[in-house]
Amino acid sequence: PMLIVHLHYDCRDAMGANAVNTAVENLAPMIADITGGRTNLRILSNLADQRTATASGLIPAAALERDGYTGTEVARFIAEANAFAVVDPYRAATHNKGIMNGIDAVVIATGNDWRAIEAGAHSYAARNGRYQALTDWHVTENGDLYGSITLPMAVGIVGGATKVHPTAKVAMKLMGIQSAPELAMVLACVGLAQNLAAIKALSTVGIQKGHMRLHARQVAIAAGATNDQVQAIANQLAAEKKINIVRAQELLAELNQR
C-alpha cells in the first residue's frame, strides 16, 4: 500500500518551496519510523489549493458598448463565451492561457516562479475531474456583467530573486506591495482583466483583428522601420490587408524618400 502525507505549511511572505522541502525532508524519518515503511518522494506541490487568490468585479452594461453592439448584448456575449469555456476543455485551454498571459508577466517581473504558478492554475482548473475555465462571468438581474476568478497563487516577496533582483525590487515598489497576499490579489486582478479584454474582443469584433494589428507592427519592425515609422506602416498594412514584409519594405522606402 502507498501512503501519501500532506504537510500544510504557512509560508507567510515567502513563496515557500525551500521551507516546505526542508520540512518534509526532516519529517521523512519520523514518517518512516511511525509507519514501518520507506519514504520516497519528499517535495512541495504546486497545486497550492489552500493558498488561493480571488478577484471579482461588476461592470455596468453601458460601459461595454462597442462597434455597434449595445452593452447588454456584449455582457450576454461575454457570459456565453465563459459558459463555452466551462463546458469545453478545448476552449478552456485557450481561455485560461489568455488569463495567464497577464499573470505570468507580473510573476516574472516580480522575480517569482511563473512555471509554478502556471502548473498550479491549470491543475486547479481540472480539480473537479474536467478541465474548465478559471473564471465566472454572468449577467446580473440588472443586466450588468459580473466576473470573478479564483486560482492558486503561491508567490513571495522575500527569498529567491524577489529581494535581490533590481527589476523585481522596482516592480514591487511600483505596485506598493507590502505582503505576499497583496501581490497574489494583484495577480488575480490582472488575470481577470486580461480575460475580460480577450473574451470581449473575441465575442464581438473577433480576436484576429487585434492579433493582426500586432503582427503588422512586428512585420514593420522586421522591415527596418523605426520609431514613428512603425505605427504608420503597421496602420497602412492593416488597412490594405497586405501584412507581409515585401509591402512593408515598399512603404518604408516611400517614407524615407519624403
d(Cα 238, Cα 212) in Å, to the nearest integer?
A: 7
Q: Per residue in 141-151, pLDDT tens?
A: 999 999 999 99
Average pLDDT over residues 2-23: 95
Q: Residue 57: which pLDDT band, with cuts at 50, 70 and 90?
A: very high
Residues 132, 135, 140: CA angle, nearest 5 degrees: 125
Q: Which positions ≥6 away from 25 have C-beta within 8 Å?
A: 42
d(Cα 33, Cα 31) in Å, to the nearest integer?
A: 5
pLDDT for the residue 228: 83
| Closest by Cα among 188, 211, 16 to 102 | 188
Average pLDDT over residues 130-135: 98
Average pLDDT over residues 91-98: 97
Q: Residue 14: which pLDDT band, with cuts at 50, 70 and 90?
A: very high
pLDDT for the residue 217: 87
Q: Using only C-alpha atoms, what is the Rg of the chain?
A: 23
Average pLDDT over residues 80-97: 97
pLDDT for the residue 227: 85
The DSSP code for 137 is: E
Report the greatest alpha carbon distance in the chain: 84
Quick check: 208 pLDDT over 70? no
Other beta carbons less than 10 A from residue 50's beta carbon: 11
Quick check: 207 pLDDT over 70? no
Q: Residue 211: which pLDDT band, with cuts at 50, 70 and 90?
A: low
Mean pLDDT of all residues belonging to the chain? 93
Quick check: 160 pLDDT over 80? no
Quick check: 210 pLDDT over 70? no
* pLDDT cut 90: percent of the chain above it: 82
* pLDDT cut 70: percent of the chain above it: 98
Average pLDDT over residues 168-190: 96
